[in-house]
Amino acid sequence: MTLTAVTSKRRLGEEHSPLRDQVVTELRQAILSGRLKPGERLVEGRLADELGVSRNPVREAIRALASEGLIEVTARRGAAVATMTEQEARETIELRALLEGQNARLAARRHDQQIIKRIEAVLNKGSAAVAAKRFEQLFDLNLLFHRELAAAGQNTVLGELLQKLRERTSMLFSPMDPGRQARSWEEHAAILRAIIDGDERRAATLAAEHVMRAGMDFLVGLNAGGEAPLFLLADQNNKRRESPSESGSGLRRPSQRNVSPANKKPPSGGAPQPSSRKRSSGSRPKPKATASP
């Protein structure tokens, strides 16, 4: 896991951003991209060293992200990246699908040409990245696509709710599976086409199905098993959590900001298949990675 130092004078001078906000941004991105794993302990001193800051902005950032639901703080273990049970995952996916559908319906109704052009630009970049197998670019592009899609709905309250739900489901769907990513961007294109056509019902249906399809891929992988862990659910984490002294920090100063959350080869088409590898007796199946919708 890598974090980016945030204390350069150039960055502070250009952005005029409080140090605490910079730490919040870096930790949020590390959690959503999968660089910080669900259930992973967050030790203030270690994070401060990695980010090149004092403990105070780290402490404030942890509090802020705890209020967003991305970090859990307990008296016994301190701070750790949040986890979800399978039921919580299902409920979050269902709610996001419902709201994404309504947002797409509003986007088709309001038909803001300037925002549509911005969405088209992001879609073109995402499709090009898929074609060139530049999968490490897709996490940020996916977030941008859905951010612009929320803007097209032109409902501030709905947009804020969707932002929180997207962050929660990004934790579920990281790291990204290249095979699912290709299908995901095809679905993005279909949603945008319905919005451009002004077809409210079709836009709503496609947007909701987009989230549910990715969610079902995740849940099928959770129950069938896969080659790599996607999201360590709360009951699994309780059995596997390691103390910092056992696991080590795994932190280093990175040479670049964005790190690809997955190095898996894309599957040969179709939905993710269960791994054929033999598991040791007593081990639980691990869910297969899916793309963030």
Of 16-20, 129-133, 142-146, 217-221, the one with minimum mean pLDDT is 217-221
The phi, psi pair for 39, rounded to 5°, reads: 85, -10
Which residue's entry shows tokens 């910079």? 22
Cα separation values, 258 from 2, 42, 59, 169, Å: 9, 20, 23, 19
pLDDT for the residue 235: 40
Q: For 238-284, write each residue's pLDDT tens digit.
A: 444 433 333 333 333 333 333 333 333 444 444 444 444 444 444 44
71 bridge partner residues = 81
Q: For 102-144, write each residue's pLDDT tens digit.
A: 999 999 999 999 999 999 999 999 999 999 998 888 888 998 9
Max mean pLDDT range (40-54, 167-181, 225-239)? 40-54
Please state, for a pLDDT cut of 90, what percent of the chain lies above it.
46
If you average pLDDT over every residue of the chain, what do you get? 76
Q: For 160-174, write each residue's pLDDT tens digit.
A: 999 989 888 877 775
The H or E element spanning position 220 is: helix 200-224
pLDDT for the residue 220: 64
Q: For 68-93, write each residue's pLDDT tens digit.
A: 888 999 988 899 999 888 888 889 99
Neighbours of 23 (CB within 10 A): 26
pLDDT for the residue 1: 56
Q: What integer is the mean pLDDT of 198-203?
A: 98
Give the whole-angstrom CA distance, residue 230 versus residue 228. 6
pLDDT for the residue 278: 43
Tell which wins on pLDDT, 280 or 214. 214
pLDDT for the residue 5: 57
Cα separation values, 9 from 15, 48, 51, 56, 60, Å: 10, 17, 14, 18, 21
Is 222's pLDDT higher than 90? no
Whether the link from the prior residue into 175 is cis, omega within 30° of 0, is yes
Model confidence at 209, in pLDDT bands (50, 70, 90)?
Answer: very high
Give the whole-angstrom CA distance, residue 198 versus residue 147. 19
pLDDT for the residue 181: 81
Q: Which of 118, 2, 18, 113 is nearest to 50 (CA)?
A: 2
Is 199's pLDDT higher than 90? yes
Query: What are 235's two structure tokens?
Result: 């009951």
Question: Dihedral of the CA atoms 245, 250, 251, 254 (nearest 10)?
Answer: 170
Query: What are 73's two structure tokens?
Result: 């703080």
pLDDT for the residue 141: 92
pLDDT for the residue 106: 98
Give the whole-angstrom CA distance, residue 200 versus residue 78. 46
What domains sit in the chain, N to C, each tagged with a CATH number? Answer: 9-82 (1.10.10.10), 86-224 (1.20.120.530)
